[in-house]
């Protein structure tokens, strides 16, 4: 694929698939960086860090600080002066003394990100927003790919890799710029078709934002692709990702440390080669995947690690066509690795549904009354007072399964078609 690069006046680079809009052409600096060894003292304005390498160029940049446990030690403010490579004065007082504080330092690039998005949306074929390697601070919704009243080709958002293009949501993010139950970072409306987000990371430093009812990335259109996307420790929201559209593809992504849900799926498509885990409630929440009809939604989860989360690692709810293949589920303390509720059907092939660590009370698969699970060539394991399979519904045995323990209804031979 070849590109023709234009100046900001020209607006974009041209490619066979549309136009590419580089955020640097709209004023983005991409100069944000993170250090993890800062010290705040009392309620003063002096901040020190042995590794920050402060320079005169940092004067006027945004800065905030979060310590262990997500405690905001320094609200977002600006650097007033640089004393040395290890010490700065800021314009607001810190909230107290602490060491090991994580600092985010850089330019607020929100306006530039929004300007590139506006230009990309104005393109007839919908353009791609390119965000080169670097760190980008945002304080409002930067990538609103919705706001359409007709079906349209969706914009794409492309970074240079999840270890290269990094976004930092400010702790005082303006939720008034987003809509409840949609993305604070990127959103696609119901009219969007074939959008793409690839090669970037959104990093939250475990600070609990006041955004209950919001998520990081939301999709209500068709054909969204997420590839090499990492969302880590963005807390205080409903979920990291909400997939409400059809025919999505999630590939080689990583979602960790949400305070409630990691990934919420209420649409259909393929979720593969990805990780979700260490969330405050459920790592993978699947709801309303209709199935059992030629045009109904279906979901295939392939080759994923669904790690332990505080509630359940995975929960299948009100869904009739969910297929797990070659996945590994880990059961959290006092809960099951995967639950199929009483209104759902799910299939498991070549999966491990097991406890994490083999200590405490952890379970494998739990099927509630009315729920149905088809299992083939799987391994189920529980420990303590929980079971490899806890079946109050119907579990059909497709053969070559193993479990260390089971309880509840008998496991039946798979029915004939």
In a domain, 200, yes or no: yes
Looking at the chain, the whole-number percentage of residues with pLDDT higher than 90 is: 85
Give the CATH number, domain containing residue 166.
2.160.20
Which of these three, 90, 106, 122, is where a domain ends? 106
One domain, residues 92 and 125: no
**Residue 246 DSSP code:** B
In a domain, 183, yes or no: yes
Q: Is the pLDDT of residue 2 over 60?
A: no
One domain, residues 194 and 131: yes
Greater model confidence, 126 or 374? 374
* Tally of domains within the chain: 2
* Mean pLDDT, residues 156-185: 96
One domain, residues 220 and 288: yes
Q: Tell me the backbone φ, ψ of residue 250, rounded to 5 degrees.
A: -115, 120
Q: Are 384 and 357 in contact (CB under 8 A)?
A: no
Give the CATH number, domain containing residue 69.
2.40.30
Which of these three, 44, 77, 106, is where a domain ends? 106
**Residue 195 DSSP code:** -
One domain, residues 124 and 38: no
In a domain, 179, yes or no: yes
In a domain, 268, yes or no: yes
Question: What's the mean per-residue pLDDT of the chain?
Answer: 93
DSSP notation for 3-35: -B---TTT--EEETTEEEEEGGGGT---B-EEE
Q: Is the pLDDT of residue 3 over 70?
A: no
Q: How confident is the model at residue 1 (pLDDT cuts 50, 70, 90)?
A: very low
Q: Is the pLDDT of residue 4 over 70?
A: no
| pLDDT at res. 53 | 98
In a domain, 346, yes or no: yes
One domain, residues 187 and 199: yes
Interval 287-301: pLDDT, tens: 989 877 655 689 999
One domain, residues 406 and 331: yes
Minimum mean pLDDT range among 141-155, 238-252, 332-346: 141-155
Interval 47-75: pLDDT, tens: 999 999 999 999 999 999 999 999 999 99
In a domain, 28, yes or no: no
In a domain, 370, yes or no: yes
Q: Which residues of 183-204 are buried (b: 16+ CB within 10 A; e: fewer)?
A: bbbbbbbebbbbbbbbbbbbbb
Q: Is the pLDDT of residue 158 over 50?
A: yes
One domain, residues 295 and 334: yes
In a domain, 269, yes or no: yes
| pLDDT at res. 295 | 58
**Domain of 385, in residue numbers:** 110-413
Which of these three, 106, 123, 143, is where a domain ends? 106
One domain, residues 313 and 164: yes
One domain, residues 117 and 69: no
One domain, residues 218 and 102: no
One domain, residues 358 and 239: yes
One domain, residues 289 and 400: yes
Cα angle, residue 216 at apex, residues 94 and 62 outer, rounded to 5°: 30
Other beta carbons within 10 angstroms of residue 340's beta carbon come to 29
């Amino acid at each position: 694929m070849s590109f023709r690069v234009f100046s900001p006046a020209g607006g974009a680079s041209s490619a066979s698939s549309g136009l590419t809009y580089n955020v640097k052409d709209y004023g983005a600096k991409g100069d944000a960086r993170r250090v993890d060894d800062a010290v705040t003292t009392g309620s003063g304005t002096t901040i020190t860090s042995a590794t920050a390498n402060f320079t005169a160029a940092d004067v006027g940049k945004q800065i905030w600080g979060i310590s262990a446990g997500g405690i905001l030690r320094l609200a977002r403010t600006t650097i007033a002066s640089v004393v040395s490579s290890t010490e700065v004065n800021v314009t607001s007082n810190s909230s107290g003394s602490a060491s090991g504080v994580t600092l985010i330092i850089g330019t607020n690039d929100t306006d530039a990100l929004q300007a590139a998005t506006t230009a990309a949306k104005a393109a007839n074929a919908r353009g791609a927003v390119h965000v080169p390697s670097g760190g980008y601070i945002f304080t409002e919704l930067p990538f609103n790919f919705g706001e359409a009243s007709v079906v349209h080709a969706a914009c794409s958002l492309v970074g240079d890799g999840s270890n290269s293009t990094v976004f930092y949501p400010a702790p005082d993010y303006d939720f008034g710029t987003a809509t409840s139950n949609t993305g604070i970072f990127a959103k696609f409306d119901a009219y969007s078709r074939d959008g793409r987000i690839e090669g970037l990371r959104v990093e939250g430093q475990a600070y609990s934002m006041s955004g209950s009812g919001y998520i990081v990335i939301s999709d209500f259109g068709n054909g969204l692709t997420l590839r090499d996307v990492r969302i880590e420790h963005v807390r205080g929201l409903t979920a990291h990702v909400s997939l409400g559209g059809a025919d999505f593809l999630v590939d080689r992504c990583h979602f960790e440390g949400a305070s409630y849900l990691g990934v919420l799926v209420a649409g259909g498509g393929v979720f593969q080669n990805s990780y979700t885990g260490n969330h405050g409630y459920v790592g993978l929440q699947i709801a309303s995947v209709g199935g059992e009809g030629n045009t109904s939604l279906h979901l295939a989860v392939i080759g994923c690690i669904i790690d332990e989360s505080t509630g359940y690692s995975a929960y299948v709810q009100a869904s009739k066509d969910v297929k797990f293949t070659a996945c590994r589920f880990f059961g959290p303390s006092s809960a099951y690795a995967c639950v199929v509720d009483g209104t759902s059907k799910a299939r498991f092939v070549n999966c491990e549904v097991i406890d994490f660590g083999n200590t405490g009370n952890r379970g494998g698969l739990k099927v509630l009354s009315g729920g149905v699970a088809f299992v083939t060539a799987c391994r189920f394991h529980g420990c303590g007072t929980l079971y490899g399979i806890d079946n109050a519904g119907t579990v059909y045995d497709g053969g070559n399964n193993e479990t260390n323990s089971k309880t509840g209804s008998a496991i039946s031979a798979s029915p004939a078609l």
